């Protein structure tokens, strides 16, 4: 699923910017951009997992308690 890969990529790039880059740019906080990218990546993973859970057979059925008759 591409969403998981993109989210992991954003987290990796964000972690590099937040913790490994010590360069300063005037008017831009590189560490803050890294934290924002990590947050967006985490949100993307959460949304991708929730989307995958919607296709899961666990918990999506009624447990066989209702009778369904096709006519």
Q: Give per-residue pLDDT as tens, 7-21.
A: 999 999 999 999 999
The two structure tokens encoding residue 8: 């992991």
Torsion sign, CA atoms 42, 47, 53, 55: negative
Which of residues 70 and 25 earns the better pLDDT score? 25
- Round to whole Å and give the CA distance between 25 and 69: 68
pLDDT recorded at residue 7: 96
Tell me the per-residue pLDDT of 52-63, one tens digit each, with 9 for 90 and over: 888 777 655 555
pLDDT recorded at residue 59: 59
Can you list the positions of beta strands (E) in the chain? none
Partners of 28 in the β-ladder: 25
pLDDT recorded at residue 11: 97
pLDDT recorded at residue 36: 97
Q: Where are the domains of the chain?
A: 2-52
């Amino acid at each position: 699923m591409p969403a998981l890969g993109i989210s992991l990529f954003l987290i990796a790039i964000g972690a590099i910017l937040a913790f490994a880059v010590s360069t300063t740019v005037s008017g831009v906080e590189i560490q803050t951009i890294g934290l924002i990218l990590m947050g967006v990546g985490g949100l993307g993973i959460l949304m991708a997992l929730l989307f995958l859970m919607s296709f899961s057979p666990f918990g999506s059925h009624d447990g066989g308690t209702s009778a369904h008759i096709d006519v």
